[in-house]
Amino acid sequence: MKKLSAINTGPRVLVQLFLLLLVFVSILPLYNVIAASFKSENEFAVSPFFPPRSPTGENFVYAAVTARLLRFAINSLILVPIGLVLYLAVCVTAGYAFGKMKFRLKRPLFLLVLFLTIFPQLLLATQVFKLISLLHLTNTGLGVILTWVAYFSPFGTYIMTTYFTDMPYELVEAARMDGASPLRILVRVMTPLAMPMIATIAIIGFQSMWNELPFSLLILQNPASRTLTLGIAMMRGEYGIGVPALSAALVIAMAVPLVMFLIFQRRVTLGVTAGAIKG
Amino acid sequence: MRHQGLERDGIAPYIFLSPLLALLAAFILYPVVMNLVASLTEWKGYGPMKWTGLANYRGMIADQAFWTSISNTGILVCYIPASTLVTVFVAALLREGLRGWQAYRAIFYIPNLLGPVIIGVVFSIYLRDDGSLNLLIKWAGGPTVRFLTSPSIAINSVGMVQVVWVHLGFGLIYFLAAMNGIDQGVYEAALIDGARFFQTLLHVTVPSIRFAIEFWVVFNFIEVFARMFSYIYTLTRGGPGYGTFTLEYGIFSQGFEKFRVGYSSAWSMVLFLFCAAISVLQIRLMRTRSS
């Protein structure tokens, strides 16, 4: 069935043109980097804009090996999944407690969690850095993982809480009648039912940790321990690296999130709305 | 009944919450409190703290960089209405069921996937004085625009890139989802009454998604005050001069580049006040929404 529309056919063409223009403007910076990544330094100097005339792969080799991007990618691929597992464990247990359990301090504690979701990393950075040094966790994966989990959990907990709150209480009740312990109810009954939302916050958590800069910048000061995101941020302005090599590094770094998007497109979209709009 | 049930789950909820609460106490609450203490001292980030009372705050008020940071944040805030208008407008267009609207939505979302660091570096290349955008402008007969190298322009470049360009894709998904919830009947009734696009947008769509718009504006405030560091670090490193300093960047610069941690903590307290206000506003919105 054709939907009624407030835009006539004539203006429709104009609207399409407007949107295409917007797409063009929006894509141009990305095109620019992709084109540059296949150019030699010389070609880029003469022609920074047009597609490469004689595409070369040497920038990619330089970025991956000489600039150690491969190493950084492996660091990220180790740190982020470990962080993600901890993050999910923390958010699901806390979300369940807030969503389905009764206790006296529920309201104030939940408000506290909400209150803490938005403080910028830089506000906490100096003291977190001091704490990490005290624990002898500077330059360690554990240091940055703990910080990430602590920093990103409040938002994940909030989303899990709204989800658990909306689930029917009879489920808990029935399991309790069967004599199941709270932990058992959470692990065996509620967690499987909450899988759709857990998958959604897993994507949110992954993106947050994968793209995180300020904490990794301060905690991972040893160049060998850099994450991919930190590696890219530090590469800009590093002496001797040209735009084509930097562009190749960017193209490599873009691969992971883009592949994620292609696989999980629907879930990524849901993640955007999960925070505020329900249903 | 309700009173009886108040503690019926006993100690279990506290055990379930303990990992979260322990992490929050150590990594968020403790830092916020210690910031206040540190802001009253002279401290390099290590070694002894020297109590100096309000000296840091007095220094801050006399510091040109501080006021530049505040006004830069103000400039970024000015991009929020533009971003909201553009995003709601484009979402309303896509909602009309134009051919390929899903493809548009996906393409506009790409910047959000890439994350602030990649975006920042991409634009640091694109917006160079001899970069592609300036090349295009030159071909069109315009002068070189010093997007990142002029102090007065650079902060606007940051605003355009982050507040408008990056948020468009995020906002489209968000607003399209909200518009999905509008009763189709109301919309069709307006059409039958002869309302055209702008009339339905103004009188049906916008009032129906008022909540979503309010959330969107608060979200944008959070981004501007609390999520700009990665963009600025990769685009301009705060420069030229103090050109793109914000409170966040100032804290970083004073604390980790100049090792004046006590002083940077005074900046942090100002940022804390702004963020606390936004946070309270957000919680109030969430509560009106859920009730």
Question: DSSP letter string over A153-173?
Answer: HHHHHHHHHHHHHHS-THHHH
Q: What pLDDT shows up at residue B191?
A: 78
Q: Is B46 helix (H, G, I), strand (E, B) or coil?
A: coil
If one counts the domains in chain B, the total is: 1
Count CB neighbours of B1 within 10 A. Answer: 4
pLDDT at B56 over 70: yes
Is there a contact between A250 and A37 (Cβ–Cβ < 8 Å)? yes
Percent of chain B with pLDDT over 70: 97
| A17 & A37 share domain | yes
| A215 & A164 share domain | yes
Hey, which residues 9-48 in chain A have their CB within 8 Å of chain B? 11-12, 15-16, 18-19, 22-23, 26-30, 32-33, 36, 48
Reading the block at residue B133, the tokens are 């955008």
| A205 & A75 share domain | yes
Is A155 inside a domain boundary?
yes
| A37 & A171 share domain | no
Reading the block at residue A154, the tokens are 């409040």
Q: Which amino acid would we find at residue B185?
A: G
Q: What pLDDT shows up at residue A277?
A: 42
pLDDT at B210 over 70: yes
| A131 & A193 share domain | yes
Is A174 inside a domain boundary?
yes
List the single residue in B29, B96, B286 with the smallest CB-CB distance to A5: B96
Cα distances from A187 to residues A86, A121, A154, in angstroms, run 15, 32, 20
| A97 & A52 share domain | no
Residue of B nearest to A135 (CA): B26
Q: Which domain, by its residues, includes A171?
A: 68-235
If one counts the domains in chain A, the total is: 2
Is B2 inside a domain boundary?
no
List the single residue in B16, B237, B265 with the smallest CB-CB distance to A126: B265
Count CB neighbours of A273 within 10 A. Answer: 19
Q: What pLDDT shows up at residue B112?
A: 85
Measure the CA–CA gap between A219 and B195, rounded to whole angstroms. 58
Reading the block at residue A249, the tokens are 């590094």
This complex has an ipTM of 0.90
Q: Which residues contact A249 (CB under 8 A, 6 or more apart)?
A: A63, A67, A69, A231, A232, A235
CATH number of the domain that residue A144 is part of: 1.10.3720.10
Tokens 């806390």, residue located: A94
Is A255 inside a domain boundary?
no
Q: Which residues contact B128 (CB under 8 A, 6 or more apart)?
A: B134, B147, B148
Q: What pLDDT shows up at residue A112?
A: 92
Q: What pLDDT shows up at residue A278?
A: 38
Q: Which residues of chain A are under the pLDDT cut of 70?
A: 1-6, 9-10, 239, 273-279
| A148 & A90 share domain | yes
Measure the CA–CA gap between A30 and B102, rounded to whole angstroms. 20
List the single residue in B6, B93, B233 with the smallest CB-CB distance to A213: B233
Q: What pLDDT shows up at residue B3?
A: 45
Measure the CA–CA gap between A72 and A54, rounded to whole angstroms. 29
Q: Which amino acid would we find at residue B147?
A: F
Q: What pLDDT shows up at residue B15?
A: 93
| Alpha helices, DSSP H, located in chain A | 9-37, 41-46, 58-61, 69-100, 106-115, 121-134, 141-166, 170-177, 182-184, 191-193, 195-210, 214-219, 228-235, 243-274
Q: What pLDDT shows up at residue A3?
A: 54
Is B141 inside a domain boundary?
yes
Q: Which domain, by its residues, includes B126?
A: 55-290
pLDDT at B169 over 90: no
Average pLDDT, chain B: 88
Is B209 inside a domain boundary?
yes
| A132 & A41 share domain | no
Classify B241 in phi/psi space as left (phi over 0), alpha (psi -120 to 50) or beta. Answer: left
Is B270 inside a domain boundary?
yes
B164 vs B233, higher pLDDT: B233
Residue of B nearest to A176 (CA): B9
Is B190 inside a domain boundary?
yes
CATH number of the domain that residue B239 is part of: 1.10.3720.10
| A31 & A75 share domain | no
**Lowest mean pLDDT across A136-150, B96-110, B226-240, B250-264:** B96-110
Is B118 inside a domain boundary?
yes
Q: What pLDDT shows up at residue B1?
A: 39
Is there a contact between B45 and B255 (Cβ–Cβ < 8 Å)? yes
| A170 & A192 share domain | yes
Q: What pLDDT shows up at residue B291?
A: 60
Count CB neighbours of B289 within 10 A. Answer: 14
| A54 & A86 share domain | no
| A107 & A174 share domain | yes
Hey, which residues 235-254 in chain A have their CB within 8 Å of chain B? 235-237, 243, 246-247, 250, 253-254
pLDDT band at B290 (very low <50, low <70, confident <90, very high): low
pTM beyond 0.95, yes or no? no
Is B136 inside a domain boundary?
yes
CA angle A75, A80, A81 (to 5 degrees): 110
pLDDT tens column, B100-111? 888 888 888 888
Is B16 inside a domain boundary?
no
**Range B28-42 average pLDDT:** 91
Instruction: Give yes or no for B286 touching A (CB within 8 A).
Output: yes
Hey, which residues 47-106 in chain A have their CB within 8 Å of chain B? 48-49, 89-91, 93-94, 96-98, 101-106
Percent of chain B with pLDDT over 90: 45
List the single residue in A27, A232, A260 with the smallest CB-CB distance to B118: A232
Is A262 inside a domain boundary?
no
Q: What pLDDT shows up at residue B7?
A: 60
